Amino acid sequence: MKEKITFIKGDIVDQEVDAIVNAANSALAGGGGVDGAIHRAGGPSIDEECRIIREQRGGCPTGHAVITGGGNLKAKYVIHAVGPIWKGGNFNEDNLLASAYLESLKLADEYNIKTIVFPSISTGAYGFPIERAARIALRTVLDYLVSSNIQEVRFVLFSDRDYDVYIKTYNKQY
pLDDT class of 97 with cuts at 50, 70, 90:
very high
- Domains of the chain with bracketed CATH: 2-173 (3.40.220.10)
Query: Is residue 1's pLDDT more than 80?
Result: no
Q: What number of CA atoms fall less than 13 Å from residue 170's CA on the CB side?
A: 19
Give residue-wise pLDDT tens across range 108-162: 999 999 999 999 999 999 999 999 999 999 999 999 999 999 999 999 999 999 9
Sign of CA dihedral 81, 84, 86, 90: negative
Catalytic residue at 35? yes
Over residues 55-80, mean pLDDT = 97
Confidence of residue 2 (pLDDT cuts 50, 70, 90): low
pTM listed for this prediction: 0.97
Query: Of 35, 47, 143, 164, which one is the catalytic site residue?
Result: 35
